[in-house]
Amino acid sequence: MNSTKIAVAAGLVVALAAWTTAYADVPKEKDFAACNAEAKDALKTGSASPNTAEPNKKDKTNAAEARRGQVSTDGAGKIADHPDPQLEGMDAQGAKDPIYQAAYRTCMRKAGF
Between the two ends of the chain, the Cα-to-Cα distance in Å is 42
pLDDT for 45: 81
The three-point CA angle 36-55-51 to 5° equals 60
pLDDT for 11: 63
The CA radius of gyration of the chain, in Å to the nearest whole number, is: 19
The alpha carbon torsion through 60, 61, 66, 68 (nearest 10 deg) reads: 120
pLDDT for 20: 46
pLDDT tens-place string over residues 73-98 = 998 999 999 999 999 999 999 999 99
User: Which strand (E) or helix (H) includes residue 22?
Assistant: helix 2-22
pLDDT tens-place string over residues 41-79 = 988 887 655 666 789 999 999 999 999 999 999 989 999
Q: How far apart are CA 2 and CA 90, in angstroms?
A: 52
* pTM listed for this prediction: 0.74
pLDDT tens-place string over residues 17-40 = 555 445 568 999 999 999 999 999
